[in-house]
């Protein structure tokens, strides 16, 4: 029930506003320190990056390089680190084009996402014809050699790409690699970790953006299993290739935050959205806002610079037109980045307790203090003063959920976001656990006398 001055005349205020303000610096929105004028600088305000796929053969195109150097602070080689490019003949490695991209990025102060060490596609001929234990060892040798070559130079690696099947099975895609045994993915991750211990290791896939899809759930279960067994995985890449057949799902943020709650980072790795004008701009805005709302969403990479650079250029899916002009989608992305987001600062390092003073006469005050924090959830404690007969509402923001309470009798409204807490005979302090699903904001409280 909404609390109004009329229905609850002795309502007293609420401490949570103060608590929220006090906590803002460490926990909540990262204040945008003035609007930045490029994508990379705007993303950097909240500790994120904004990247693009780069093709080595375009590094001589001045318009292309001009936009690249001005706007982006992360680079993914579009094809140059794939298996057919880096090991064209077995045991003979070829890094020329990939190294040129890495060198260009470094000279510009940009970082690099490696893409990709193990994939069913773009295998060189010699690998396509292999199977069984011969293929398994060749794959692991490839991972070891290439990860060693780039040791310490990359921000993250897409260790395994596109290993799950489309459709309703939620299982693995058939491939020569899959036929070497279901443990091929974890074997690849272990080999990558051994070769390059300080680079984030990602699993990367498409059609995993909709939380309701079987494929998304299949990948989620794999990551959950890897985390529970100590398989070294640090991040999940969401390619996010969208068009009218595969639109931005309404639950996209839930997908990102649900994976993040497993204790991995999430990255949007190959974003492009077909369309034009304001509808394309608003779809881009939704994607950026979802990442900005999830503390462990490290950054966003678009899959090319100009529409004409895209693997599906006829759909004009990128942020710059064929002449290099900024599109409406560019502006909506820049604005969404400048609006700030949930701070990706490690949330487990701070503990703040706040108290409030001067409760209104005859009313009550509910004081929130921060409790213990874990990767996926945090505790809050509330102390009530002014009455023993209190009613405290605790409102969490979606996709947060209160998953347990203590020392109170609690009921929820139909949205599940508003909890009404009353005394249960345990005194005037109670607490709860919030599963944050990527949103670390504190709840807001109101206190009234019952």
Among residues 38, 79, 354, 405, the one that binds ligand G2I under rule CB under 6 A = 79
- For 231, residues 6+ apart whose C-beta sits below 8 A from its C-beta are 186, 189, 190, 225
Shortest Å distance, C-beta 144 to ligand G2I: 21
| Alpha-carbon distance values, 164 to 172, 193, 205 (Å) | 4, 22, 8
| C-beta of 311 vs 406, nearer to ligand G2I | 311
Shortest Å distance, C-beta 44 to ligand G2I: 25
Task: Rule CB under 6 A: say whether 437 interacts with ligand G2I.
Answer: no
Residue 300: enclosing H or E segment and its boundaries? strand 297-302
Task: Rule CB under 6 A: say whether 122 interacts with ligand G2I.
Answer: yes
Binding mask of the shown chain, residues 39 to 78, with x at each position contacting ligand G2I by CB under 6 A: ---------------------------------------x
Helix (H, G, I), strand (E, B) or coil at 324: coil
- For 24, residues 6+ apart whose C-beta sits below 8 A from its C-beta are 31
Shortest Å distance, C-beta 271 to ligand G2I: 11
| C-beta of 78 vs 196, nearer to ligand G2I | 78
- Give the whole-angstrom CA distance, residue 64 versus residue 324: 7
CB 424 within 8 A of CB 388: no
Parallel, antiparallel or unpaired: strands 235-238 and 200-205? parallel
Helix (H, G, I), strand (E, B) or coil at 283: helix
Task: Rule CB under 6 A: say whether 307 interacts with ligand G2I.
Answer: no
Among residues 126, 311, 374, 406, the one that binds ligand G2I under rule CB under 6 A = 311
Task: Rule CB under 6 A: say whether 239 interacts with ligand G2I.
Answer: yes
Let me know the angle formed at the C-alpha of 255 by 236 and 113, rounded to the nearest 5 degrees: 25
* Whether 274 is catalytic: no
Residue 215: enclosing H or E segment and its boundaries? helix 214-229
Shortest Å distance, C-beta 158 to ligand G2I: 8
Among residues 89, 121, 134, 404, the one that binds ligand G2I under rule CB under 6 A = 121
CB 432 within 8 A of CB 379: yes
Task: Rule CB under 6 A: say whether 209 interacts with ligand G2I.
Answer: no
Which parts of 366-425 interact with ligand G2I (CB under 6 A)?
none
| C-beta of 83 vs 110, nearer to ligand G2I | 83
Helix ranges restricted to H, 348-398: none
CB 81 within 8 A of CB 98: yes
Number of residues that bind ligand G2I (CB under 6 A): 9
Shortest Å distance, C-beta 302 to ligand G2I: 12
Q: Which of 78, 87, 186, 270 is an active site residue?
A: 270
| C-beta of 161 vs 180, nearer to ligand G2I | 161
Shortest Å distance, C-beta 269 to ligand G2I: 8
Beta bridge partners of 410: 421
| C-beta of 118 vs 391, nearer to ligand G2I | 118
Q: Which of 162, 186, 274, 370 is an active site residue?
A: 162
Helix (H, G, I), strand (E, B) or coil at 92: strand
* Whether 162 is catalytic: yes
| C-beta of 15 vs 204, nearer to ligand G2I | 204
Helix (H, G, I), strand (E, B) or coil at 113: strand
| C-beta of 302 vs 447, nearer to ligand G2I | 302
Sign, CA dihedral 224-225-230-232, equals negative
Which parts of 252-281 interact with ligand G2I (CB under 6 A)?
270
Shortest Å distance, C-beta 273 to ligand G2I: 14
- Give the whole-angstrom CA distance, residue 430 versus residue 408: 6
| C-beta of 45 vs 310, nearer to ligand G2I | 310
* R_g (Cα) of the chain, nearest Å: 25
Shortest Å distance, C-beta 124 to ligand G2I: 13
CB 329 within 8 A of CB 280: yes
Beta bridge partners of 67: none
CB 381 within 8 A of CB 369: yes
Shortest Å distance, C-beta 79 to ligand G2I: 5
| C-beta of 206 vs 378, nearer to ligand G2I | 206
Count Cβ atoms below 10 Å from residue 164 Cβ, excluding itself: 25
CB 391 within 8 A of CB 449: yes
| Residue with the CB atom nearest ligand G2I in the bound state | 311
Binding mask of the shown chain, residues 143 to 162, with x at each position contacting ligand G2I by CB under 6 A: ------------------x-
Count Cβ atoms below 10 Å from residue 396 Cβ, excluding itself: 23
Indicate which residues carry an active-site annotation.
162, 270
Positions that interact with ligand G2I (CB under 6 A): 78-79, 121-122, 161, 206, 239, 270, 311
């Amino acid at each position: 029930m909404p609390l109004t001055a009329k229905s609850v005349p002795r309502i007293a205020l609420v401490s949570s506003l103060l608590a929220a303000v006090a906590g803002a610096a460490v926990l909540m929105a990262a204040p945008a320190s003035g609007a930045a004028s490029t994508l990379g600088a705007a993303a950097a305000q909240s500790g994120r990056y904004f990247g693009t796929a780069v093709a080595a053969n375009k590094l001589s195109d001045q318009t292309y390089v001009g936009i690249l150097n001005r706007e982006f602070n992360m680079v993914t080689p579009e094809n140059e680190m794939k298996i057919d490019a880096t090991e064209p003949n077995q045991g003979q490695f070829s890094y020329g084009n990939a190294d040129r991209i890495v060198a260009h990025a470094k000279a510009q102060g940009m970082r690099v996402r490696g893409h990709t060490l193990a994939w069913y596609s773009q295998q060189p001929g010699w690998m396509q014809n292999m199977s069984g234990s011969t293929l398994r060892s060749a794959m692991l040798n490839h991972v070891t050699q290439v990860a060693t070559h780039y040791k310490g130079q990359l921000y993250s690696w897409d260790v395994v790409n596109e290993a799950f099947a489309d459709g309703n099975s939620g299982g693995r895609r058939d491939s020569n690699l899959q036929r070497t045994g279901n443990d091929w993915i974890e074997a690849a991750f272990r080999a990558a970790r051994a070769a390059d211990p300080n680079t984030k290791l990602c699993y990367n896939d498409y059609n995993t953006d909709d939380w309701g899809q079987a494929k998304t759930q299949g990948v989620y279960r794999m990551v959950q299993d890897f985390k529970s067994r100590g398989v070294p995985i640090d991040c999940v890449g969401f390619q996010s290739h969208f068009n009218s057949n595969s639109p931005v799902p309404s639950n996209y943020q839930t997908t990102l935050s649900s994976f993040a709650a497993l204790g991995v980072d999430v990255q949007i790795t190959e974003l492009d959205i077909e369309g034009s004008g304001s509808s394309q701009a608003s779809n881009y805005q939704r994607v950026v806002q979802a990442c900005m709302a999830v503390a462990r969403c490290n950054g966003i990479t678009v899959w090319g610079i100009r529409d004409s650079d895209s693997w599906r250029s006829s759909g004009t899916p990128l942020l710059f037109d064929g002449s290099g002009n900024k599109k409406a989608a560019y502006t909506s992305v820049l604005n969404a980045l400048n609006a700030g987001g949930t701070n990706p600062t490690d949330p487990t390092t701070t503990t703040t307790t706040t108290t409030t003073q001067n409760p209104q006469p005859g009313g009550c005050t509910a004081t929130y203090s921060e409790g213990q924090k874990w990767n996926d959830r945090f505790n809050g404690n509330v102390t009530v003063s002014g009455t023993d007969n209190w009613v405290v509402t605790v409102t969490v923001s979606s996709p947060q959920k209160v998953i347990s309470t203590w020392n109170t009798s609690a009921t929820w409204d139909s949205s599940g976001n508003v909890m009404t807490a009353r005394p249960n005979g345990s005194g005037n302090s109670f607490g709860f656990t919030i599963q944050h699903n990527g949103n670390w904001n504190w709840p807001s409280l109101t206190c009234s006398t019952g």
